[in-house]
Structure 1
Amino acid sequence: MFWFNSIEHNRWLSACLQDLLDYGRKSEVKTGFACLDRDGEIDLEQPIQLYLTARMVHVFSLGVLLGVPGCRRLVEHGIRCLNQYFRDPVNGGWFDAIEHELDADGNAIPYPGRDDKRSYSHAFVLLGAASATAADRIGAHELMQDALRDSDLHWWDSQFGMVRESYNRDYSRCEDYRGINSNMHTAEAYMLVAQVTNEGEWLDRAMRILERVAEVSREYSWRLPEHFDADWKPLLGYNRENPQEAHRAYGSDVGHSFMFSRLILEARAMLKQSGKEEPEWMIPAATGMFERAREDAWRRDGAPGFAFTVDWDGKPVIRDRQAWVQFEAIGAAVTLLRVAVAEDAEAEEVEHYEHCYRAWIDFAYEHFLVRGGRIVHRLSPENKPLDLENQRLRDSVYHAVQAMLLPRLPLTPAFSVALAHGLLDKPLPEEPAHKKRFGGF
C-alpha cells in the first residue's frame, strides 16, 4: 500500500503540520511576521521582511482552510500589515523590508539598503493574497487585485515571458540582472491566481516561464542556470569567485530544479483538467530535472542529504544540506509518483518515486524536523546542525508546511483551492493486481 493511503502516515503528516503552524505563530509582531532565531525567538537583528510576512499569510490561509483555530486572525493581521506598513505611499508597490519600530507618526521605516522593490518578494504578496482570497479573508481580494496590477505595471516582461528582478524605490531604474528564483515563485503564484480567479491568462504566463526554464535546463543536461542578463542569456560564471553568496549562489541550485519539476507537473494537470492538450515537453522536463538533481546532489559526500549547489559538471559546490531543499525534493517525489500512477507506469518507476519519497521524508524527520515545529535549517556535509548564533536564519515554515500537505492533496488544484474544495486525503488508486509487489490475489 502507498504511504499516501495510510491513515497513520497522514495523521503523522497532520501532526507535523500542526506543530509547524504553532511554531509559525511565534513570528507575529506588530508590523508583520519576523524572522525567528535558532531558539524560536524573534530575531531583532533582522528586519521585518516582505516576503516572509506574505509567506505567512499564505501559510495561515492554509491553516484557515484546514480548520485550525486562530489562523483567521493571523491572516488578517498579515493583510493589514502588508497594506498599512509595507506599502510605499509615494511610489506604489511594497517595501522589501522595514524596521521593527515605527516612526513618531506610526509609519513604517524602510530598512536601510532595502527600500527597493523585488519581484521575489512581490511573488509572495501575490501568493499570500490569492490563498487568503481562497480562504475568504477580509481584504484579501483587494490585495490580490492590487498585486496583479503591480505585476502588469512593473514585473511582467511580455517580450521574454518572464519577470524582471528588481527596481529602485521609485521604479526609475531596473536592475540588469534576471533570476530564476523570482520567476519560480511568480509561476507558483500565477498558477494559484488562475484557479482563484478562473482567468486563464495567469496560467498562460506561468506556462511561458516554465517552458523557458525547461528549454534552458535541457541545454545544460537538465542542470538549471540560475543567473541571466537582461536579454535572458545565461551567466554561468556568476559569483564563481564568491560561490557561497547566500542569495545568488554560483552554480545550479538543486532545490529550484526540484520545485520546477513539481510546478511543471502541476501545470500539466491544470491543463488536462481544463480540457487543454498538454505539451509533450512537460513530463520529460520534469523527470529530467528531478533525476539530474537527485543524481548530482543526493549522498554525494558518502552520507544522506542533498548538496545545496553543483557546478556545470555536477560537482557539489556548496555541500551544506538545507532544509528547504529537502522539503522541495519531497514535494517533487510526490508529484512524480502521482503522475506515474495516473499514467499507469511500470512498477519499477512507481517504486522508484515511492522509495525517494520514503527515504527523503525519513531524512527530514531525523535531521530537520524538531519536535514542536522548529526546523533545523542547515546541516554540515556530515549532517551536524549549523544553525549557530552567528548565522542568520532567513527561512520560514512555508516549504515544510507545503511538503506535509502535498502527499494529502491531488496534483491540482493548488493547495488553498484544493483545501477549499474539500480534497484533502483522497487516496491514490491502488496498484493493479499484476503490478503488486506482494500477493496479488
Structure 2
Amino acid sequence: MERKLPDFTSAYFLKQHILDTVNFYAPRCMDKVFGGYINCFLDDGTVCDYETKQLVGQARFVFIFSVASLLKPDQAYRQLAEHGITFLQRHQRDHKHGGYYWELKGRSVSKPVKRAYGHAFVLLAAATAAKAGISSAVPMIADTFDVLERYFWREKEGLYLDEISADWSEISSYRGQNANMHLCEAMMTAYEATGNKRYLERAKRIAESVMFRLLPQSGGLIWEHYHEDWTIDWTYNYGITKSELRPYGFIFGHSIEWSKLLLLLERLDPGNWRKPMAQSLFQSAIHLGLDRKNGGIYFSMAPGGYIIDYDKYYWVMAEAIGASSLLAAYDRSALQLYNDLFAYCWTYFVDQQRGGWYQLLNRFNHRYSNIKSPPPKTDYHPVTNCLIALTSFSQTELAE
C-alpha cells in the first residue's frame, strides 16, 4: 500500500519541512574550532571535511538559520546565524583590500580571489539576517553593495563582472549570467530588509539587461557564458557540465530560476513584461527538460537541442518548486505541476528520516554518492523555494 503524500501546499507542511531541512545541519554544522560552519556531511550527518570554508556555503548557512529564526523565533537559530555573521566579518572578509575571500581552510586563506557570485550570497545573508532582527548584519548590506558597486558593476552594460584578483588589480575576461542572477535575488532581499529603493532599482536593471541584452542572443533559454563584450561564448567549458559555477550547456534550472526571480520582482514592482517572460522561460525549460518517463528535470542541453547531462540536481528541482508555486497564482495547471514536482522530490530527494535533501541523482533517480552536502550546498535552494511556496499559497485561493 502506497503511503499518502503530504499536502504540499499546506503552510504547516512547508514550514515544518523547512525546519526539518535546517535541523539536519543544526547544530552539528557549528565549527567550534575555527568558527563559522562545517560544510560537508554524509547522508547520516557524518562530517566529511572539517576545514573548507567556501564563502557561498558560509553565507548560505546564515541565510537558512535566519529563515528558520523568522519562522520559529528560537534563540538557537538566531545564535547560529549570528555565529556565521561574525565569522564572515572577522575571517572571510579581506581587511586590507575589502570584499570577501572565496575560500578558507580553517582560518587560512586558500583562494583569495574575489567573485561576484560569493558577494551576492553575502548580501543575501546579511539582508535575511537583518530581516530576522540581527543588528550586526545591517551594516554589511550597504558595505557589500558598495564593494560590488566599486569593483564589479558596469553601468554601461547594466551587469556585474564575475571575478577579480584579491587586490582588485586583475579582472578576469570571463562574463557570466549566474552571478548576475543571484545578485538580482540578493538586491530584492536587500530592498525588503531596508526599504532602500536603490536595491530594487538595481535588481530591475540586472533583470532587464539579462532579458533584453543576453536572452535574445540564445533564444528561449538563458545561456551561461559570455565574452568581455557580453556576446555569447558558445565554447567556454565545452562539455564540462559538472563545473560548480560555470557548467556548459543550457542549464534548465537557471531559466527556471530566472522565471522565479521575474515573478518575485513583479510582486515588488508590478509591470507588464515580466510575467509573460517568466511563463515563457519556465514553459520552455519544462518542455525541453522534463523527464516524462522517470520524473525530474534533466540538467543540461547542448545548443543543438539534445540533452547532454541527464542527471537530476536537487537545486534544479527546488527552483522548479518555487517557480511553479508563483505561477500557480496565474495558472491552475501550474498548481498540478507544483504538486507533481514536489511529490517527485519527496520520493527521491528528501531524506524523510534524517532531514535534508540528497544532492544528485542519475536519470533513473539513483544516488551517486553518500555525500549529502558537499560545500557549498547547505540546502539553501530547498529552504528558499519552500519559503516562496509558503508565501505564494498564503496569498492565493488556489491552495484552498
* 1:387–1:393 CA contact under 8 A, matched in 2: no
Summarize deviations over 1:393-430 as a string: whole Å, max 9, x none: 541111111222222214xxxxxxxxxxxxxx735235
Aligned to 2:211: 214
**Alignment partner, residue 4 of structure 2:** none
2:10 is paired with a residue of what secondary structure?
A: helix
The 1:219–1:170 alpha-carbon spacing in structure 2 relative to 1, beyond 3 Å, is closer
Amino acid corresponding to residue 176 of structure 2 in structure 1: G
1:232 matched residue in structure 2: 230
* 1:207-228 Cα shifts (integer Å, max 9, x gaps): 1211222233244331111001
Q: Name the counterpart of 1:9.
A: 10
What does residue range 107-256 of structure 1 map to in structure 2 within 5 Å?
A: 108-111=107-110, 114-215=111-212, 216-256=214-254
Q: Report SS of the residue matched to 1:110.
A: strand
- Tell me, yes or no, if the aligned pair for 1:298 and 1:307 is still in contact at 8 Å: yes
Q: Which runs of 5+ in 2 are unaligned?
A: 1-6
Does residue 1:60 correspond to 2:65, yes or no?
yes
Secondary structure of the structure 2 residue equivalent to 1:33: coil
Q: What's the offset of the Cα at 1:241? A: 4.3
How far apart in 1 are the matches of 2:59 and 2:147? 15
C-alpha separation between the residues in 2 aligned to 1:55 and 1:126?
10
CA, structure 1 residues 241+306, in 2 after alignment: closer, same or farther (shift >3 Å)?
Answer: closer
Among residues 88, 94, 101, which one is paired with 2:100 in the alignment? 94
1:377–1:393 CA contact under 8 A, matched in 2: no
- Is the 1:222–1:292 Cα contact (8 Å) retained in structure 2? yes
Local SS of the residue matching 2:328: helix
Kindly provide the CA deviation profile for residues 85-112 of structure 1, in whole angstroms up to 9, marking residues without a partner as x. Answer: 1111221111111112xxxxxxx2101x
Change (3 A) 1:244 1:400: closer
AA aligned to 1:409 is: T
- 1:375 aligned residue (344, 357, 365): 357
Structure 1 unaligned regions, length at least 5 = 1-5, 101-107, 273-277, 341-349, 411-424, 437-441
Who is 1:400 aligned against?
382
Give the superposed CA RMSD.
2.2
The CA distance in 1 between the partners of 2:254 and 2:395, in whole Å, is 28
Structure 1 residue 122, shift from structure 2 partner: 0.4
1:79 counterpart = 2:85: yes
1:24·1:397 contact (CA, 8 Å) conserved in 2?
no
- C-alpha deviation, 1:387, in angstroms: 2.3
Larger Rg belongs to: 1
Taking structure 2 as the reference length, the TM-score comes to 0.91
Amino acid at match of 2:303: W
Aligned residues: 387
1:45 CA drift (Å): 6.7
Partner Cα distance (2:257, 2:9) in 1: 27
* Cα deviations by residue, 1:181-208 (Å, 9 ceiling, x for unpaired): 1111100011111222222222121112
AA in 1 matched with 2:337 = C
Cα distance in 2 between the residues matched to 1:237 and 1:8: 41
CA deviation map 1:311-336 (0-9, x unaligned): 12332111110000000011110111
User: C-alpha displacement at 1:68, in angstroms?
Assistant: 4.3
Aligned to 1:416: none
Shift, 1:133, TM fit: 1.1
Which residue among 285, 296, 305 is the counterpart of 1:293? 285
Q: Which amino acid aligns with 1:285?
A: M
Shift of 1:7: 9.7
